[in-house]
Amino acid sequence: MLAQIKERSEGFFKEKNVITDILGKLEDKTGIQKPYIATGFVAVIVLYLLFGYGASLLCNLIGFVYPAYFSIKAIESNNKEDDTKWLTYWVVYGLFSVGEFFSDIFLFWFPFYYAGKCVFLLWCMAPVSWNGSQIIYTRLVRPFFLKHESAMDCMVNDLSGKAKNAAESVTKQAASLAVGHDKAQ
């Protein structure tokens, strides 16, 4: 496992992308090798998540930016597998965010909450077969959805119908007010 991580990180530093370009420029200016710069940067982020003000924002950016970037790349590719991977991530991320909304008032007081949340989000987006999104989706979300799918479909159809009727009603009222306003002038 450790050898695989080392191999992947060495491969990453040899790739040509925005991050390695920035690390390369920093390496040229400072004389410090890319892996050490990256390790230092990660250490600063971890320390900030543990003790810094605004750790919530940083954690949410980490949970959003990387997945959003690769979701856009997945949309633009012809491969269906990457679409499924990132859709699964967003379903789990959305459920986590809703759950967090209701429990955040309590969880916020736990030491190192944002560091733990960040680790959870990183696990959910990790490019491994045992990532959190896949596990949570297949073990929790999918069985629950399949069990309650017909009830959810009825509820969504009912809400869609009510929303459509409300929109039509508001549109008719706005149109009649506009006609009445024009006649008054």
* pLDDT tens digits, one per residue of 61-118: 889 998 999 999 999 999 888 899 999 999 999 999 998 888 877 776 777 888 888 8
Name the domain count of the chain: 1
Let me know if residue 141 belongs to a domain. Answer: yes
Instruction: Tell me what pLDDT residue 173 has.
Output: 85
133 touches 125 (CB < 8 A): yes
Let me know if residue 45 belongs to a domain. Answer: no
13 touches 35 (CB < 8 A): yes
Q: Using the 8-state DSSP alphabet, how is residue 31 labeled?
A: -
116 touches 122 (CB < 8 A): no
What is the Cα gyration radius of the chain?
24
Q: Is the pLDDT of residue 139 over 90?
A: yes
Angle between helices 2-14 and 18-30 (to 10 degrees): 80
Q: Using the 8-state DSSP alphabet, how is residue 77 labeled?
A: S
| Average pLDDT score over residue span 28-36 | 87
49 touches 118 (CB < 8 A): yes
Neighbours of 19 (CB within 10 A): 13
Nearest to 13 by CA among 38, 44, 46, 32: 38
Let me know if residue 122 belongs to a domain. Answer: yes
Q: Is the pLDDT of residue 1 over 70?
A: no
Instruction: Tell me what pLDDT residue 16 has.
Output: 77
Instruction: Tell me what pLDDT residue 180 has.
Output: 65
Where is pLDDT greater, at 139 or 129?
139
Range of the domain at 106: 52-156
Let me know if residue 177 belongs to a domain. Answer: no
Let me know if residue 20 belongs to a domain. Answer: no
Let me know if residue 95 belongs to a domain. Answer: yes
Let me know if residue 117 belongs to a domain. Answer: yes
Length of the chain, please?
A: 185
Q: Which amino acid is at 181?
A: H
Token pair for 95: 């459920």
Where is pLDDT greater, at 183 or 111?
111
Give all strands (DSSP E) within the chain, no chain letters: none
Let me know if residue 61 belongs to a domain. Answer: yes
